Amino acid sequence: MGVLLCAAPLLPQSASEPVFDHGILRWFQLTETREDVARIMGRPKVVTSFGDDFECWQYQIGVSDEHEFSHQLVFRRDTGKLVSATRNYETDRDIDWLFPEGSGSVYWYTGPDGSKYGIRVSRLPDGRLLLAPGSTERGKPASQIGLFRDTELKAFYPWLALQLRESQTQQK
């Protein structure tokens, strides 16, 4: 029992932070179910539904602001499968280690007023995309990273899903 009590605090921390191990991102595979995530990270602080078929679990792990969430995990309601995991940081931090040299591209959204917003994107195995909103170049820190199932991206970033599809078409 003592071993379990000592190990329990390590589970949320290890699951909550992405890790690169020999060039492979170890975080979520986006095949996890609600039960898998609850077993790994515990129960969320808040559960909300949005859109036609999404449920968001929000966590506050190591957050000092009571109104902020450190993690947002989104599931398809019909299948119960995880489709995205977002890690929010209280302060900007270097995320270059998540995007090794030459591993990603930057995509831009142009707003109606002409303003531009960039996202660094890296394609990972198994149809996953790693995103760093607002970080458009090496050395530029970010306050958020996200892992998305490529087939579900259009529900979150429709403009980015379109640009990624267009860039794949051009590469063929």
| Cα→Cα distances 167→54, 75, 171, Å | 27, 27, 6
Question: What's the rounded mean pLDDT across residues 67-75?
Answer: 93
On average, the pLDDT of the chain sits at: 87
The answer to whether the beta carbons of residues 61 and 46 sit under 8 Å apart is no
Does residue 5 fall inside a structural domain? no
Say how many domains are in the chain. 1
pTM of the model: 0.86
Give a yes or no: residue 70 inside a domain. Answer: yes
Instruction: Give the mean pLDDT of 6-17.
Output: 49
Give pLDDT, residue 67: 76
Q: What is the distance between the alpha carbons of residues 58 and 75, in angstroms, rounded to a whole number?
A: 11
Determine the average pLDDT of the residues in 142-151.
Answer: 95
Q: Which residue do the tokens 């489709």 mark?
A: 83
Owning domain of residue 70: 25-171
Q: Is the residue at 14 inside a domain?
A: no
Token pair 């679990």 is found at 57
Q: Give yes or no for residue 61 having a pLDDT over 60.
A: yes
Q: Which residue has the higher pLDDT, 64 or 19?
A: 19
